[in-house]
Amino acid sequence: TSAFPIISQEEVATHRSLEHGVWVTYKGGVYDITEFVAMHPGGDKILLAAGGALEPFWALYAVHNQEHVLEMLSEYKVGEL
């Protein structure tokens, strides 16, 4: 069990803009990264993943395959799929 609420994929998909919030999923976790978008070292590319899974993008941009990136992501967790 976990302290985080269960959030559906459909709900995540409604959050794909700065206006409505930017949510992404990664390995079963749901993250509200709205506040992080402006701080992203890779710029607006991060919005390509808005409302869906990070995995296909991080498979292409291996720079994310580092402990410090996952720690950063964990701070934005809001739920689980």
Return d(Cα 18, Cα 49) in angstroms, integer: 13
Under the binding rule (CB under 6 A), the answer on residue 30 touching ligand HEM is no
Shortest gap between Cβ of 8 and ligand HEM (angstroms)? 19
In residues, how long is the chain?
81
11: three-class secondary structure by DSSP: helix
Among 7, 12, 24, 30, binds ligand HEM (CB under 6 A): 24
With CA atoms as reference, report the closest residue to 65 among 14, 27, 32.
27
Footprint of ligand HEM (CB under 6 A):
24, 33, 36, 40-42, 45-46, 48-49, 54, 57, 61, 63-64, 66, 69, 72-73
